[in-house]
Structure 1
Amino acid sequence: MNEPNAYPDSTHPIPQEAFDWYDEYAHGIIDRRTFMARLGTLTAAGLTMSSMLAVLMPDYAVAEQVSFNDPDIKATYEKFDSPHGYREGRGYLVTPTAMDEKAPAVLVIHENRGLNPYIMDVARRLAKDGFVAFAPDALFPKGGYPGNDDEGRELQASMERGKIEQDFIAAANYLKTHPKSSGKLGAVGFCFGGYIVNMLAAVIPEKLNAGVSFYGTPAAKELRKNVKGPLVIQLAGLDQRVNATWPEYEEDLKANGVDYKMYEYPNVNHGFHNDSTGRFDKDSAEIAWKRTVEFFKAKLA
């Protein structure tokens, strides 16, 4: 297994604190100045700022698994109405080119920074496996993903959370009734997107046929009684922030008789599925993704 706290050459391991600080920074708990100041305290141990940032920050150029030119898929940008959100949304729709009939559909939900290249690649991976995949960009009302995660985070933080949630509900409805969709709807999300999967399971349980949440927090307590599932919850062993919310969420799922499975991957960080950063853990990511695809094939057939 790839170590979550090491350079690619493993010459100078990065302390776990650096990954924890990055998680706090990425989720708005600390600002960039505080994050950089904390990283600066590690340079005395032989670590350089540039080498640490090279591991922590995303490099999307090296992370693509499925090319947008892949002949097995077709990708377009499509708009949808969102009357209770920001009025209109837009997303990245990817379909298998060999479709003779309708196919199950999966909503792909990004982190708290907009539709970046990693999430687009996840949509293409699903289309390669035979699904109609749709990845909305919550930042569309602000001009769309700006090309880097820092600006994307700032943009998303400036928007109304309730309207963003309504946009994803509208996107789910759009996808479920899309002409190429079989009517079976799944959703997979990462971090903020993992929360949105849990939220959709609570607010449109009759429409969501399967949900996979990667390191996402649960929906509001008062909504959880509506969850029916089935759900797959994927957690990172080192992710103390999100994992602290799981015991209570599990109690609610058990109380409601929800069909769910939780997988916790040891010694990996929040974001372990994201292959554009040093948090990526190849072994755990491959296992988690295999479980995701198999779950969707079983529940959306």
Structure 2
Amino acid sequence: MNSVPQTSACVGLSKEAVSQEAIDLYDAFTHDRLDRRSFMERMVTLAGGTVAAATLISLIAANPAKAAMVPEGDSRLETGPLSIETFNGPLRAYMAKPKVIAESIPVVLVIHENRGLNPHIEDVARRLALAGYIAVAPDFLSPLGGTPGNNPDLARDMIGQLAPDTTLMNAASAVGFAQSMAGANGKVGAVGFCWGGGLVNRLAVAAPDLDAAVVYYGRQPDVADVVTIRARLLFHYAGLDERIGAGKAAYETALKNAGKPFTSYVYEGVNHAFNNDTSEARYDKAAAELAWSRTLEFLAANLKG
């Protein structure tokens, strides 16, 4: 596999010049607990210098300054904070919904990546609100003080400190909260990305009241547990994402054997996090737009019908 040209003058480095090796290395750092020192040493070697390495990382990592697809002040929406009560204390959350609701509508939980509840996830919530949903994006880092602003590395460290079973119970509490929201029709869906995709898979196992689950490149649950799933399932996989793709076949076989309905798509030639438009190197516009159209169609069929 070709690496990035060996130069320290890479200010103009394009998305196309970022090697798969660099993306895989970043993925190992952010998901497989590769320590920072080893990550930086290997990235500098790969890029050919510290300046080039910094440029590479900036292209791969999410950029919180990236403009939102739906601005915070969109006049068609009502947005703001809310609090979800759980056995573990309150979860902070971001809510977006149509400003005018003629009749009751479904609620969709938006489950964040391992960077916590950041502006990108809030933007996704607003996109769902424009599609006719009450979108609720919980901050699962609330028990640790909430998502740290503009510090994704710290957020990832904090995600690793969460107790998985407690987090799952908090997510199940969010489903119950969503069912009883003012203006809601009682149907609840969940859309999760990366870490959040894995949580949505586990939530489908644990929450019988969840009606629809959309998983973007999320880790699969224990296949022995799929018998309890009642939600309809939609999976979006990245063709180049070997880490998450490794569990696909066993999971889908277990679902078939248990008679659980699901739809699964693989987007060839794209990377993990292809939907995140704040990551220049990994975002794939065509795949993201296709997956989003399929997501909206799926949610409408299972929550609005």
What does residue 78 of structure 1 align with? 82
Counterpart position of 1:122:
124
Between the aligned partners of 1:130 and 1:237, the Cα distance in structure 2 is 30
1:183-228 deviation per Cα after TM superposition (whole angstroms, max 9, x unaligned): 11111000111111111111113x1111100001122233211123
> Partner of 2:37: helix, strand, or coil?
helix
CA distance in 2, matches of 1:187, 1:48: 39
Q: How far off its partner does 1:168 sit?
A: 0.9
CA distance in 2: counterparts of 1:81 and 1:162, whole angstroms: 17
Q: 2:26 aligns with which of 11, 22, 26?
A: 22
Q: Aligned residue for 1:145?
A: 147
Percentage of matched positions with identical amino acids: 38
Looking at structure 2, the residues matched to 75 and 12 of structure 1 have their Cα atoms a distance apart, in angstroms, of 36
Partner of 2:191: 188
TM-superposed deviation, 1:113: 2.4
1:33 aligns with 2:37: yes
Corresponding position of 2:181? 178
Structure 1 counterpart of 2:224: 222
TM-score, L = length of structure 2: 0.91
d(CA) in 2 for partners of 1:89 and 1:11? 37
Q: Which moved more, 1:94-103 or 1:259-268?
A: 94-103
| Ranges in structure 2 where 5+ consecutive residues have no aligned partner | none
Pair 1:232–1:10, CA change in 2 (3 A):
same
CA distance in 1, matches of 2:221, 2:62: 28
Equivalent position SS for 1:112: coil
Using CA pairs under 8 Å that are at least 6 residues apart, name the structure with larger relative contact order, 1 or 2.
1
**Where does residue 202 of structure 2 map in the other structure?**
199
8 A contact 1:107–1:185 mirrored in 2: yes
Q: Which residue of 1 aligns with 2:62?
A: 58
Moved over 2 A (4+): 5-12, 43-47
Cα distance in 2 between the residues matched to 1:105 and 1:67: 20
Query: In 2 relative to 1, CA 183–159 (structure 1 residues): closer, same or farther, beyond 3 Å?
Result: same
Count how many residue pairs are aligned between Structure 1 and Structure 2. 294
* TM-score, scaled to structure 1: 0.93
Q: Larger deviation: 37-46 or 283-292?
A: 37-46
CA RMSD between the two structures: 2.0
Contact 1:229 1:260 in 2 (8 A): no
Partner of 1:100: 102
Structure 1: gaps spanning 5 or more residues = none
User: Once the two structures are superposed, what CA deviation does each residue of 1:60-86 show, in whole Å capped at 9, x if it has no partner?
Assistant: 222410111001111121112111xx2
Letter in 1 for 2:133: F
Are residue 293 (structure 1) and residue 296 (structure 2) matched?
A: yes
Task: Report the secondary structure of 1:100's partner residue.
Answer: coil
Cα pair 2:206 2:228 within 8 Å, conserved: yes
Aligned to 2:46: 42
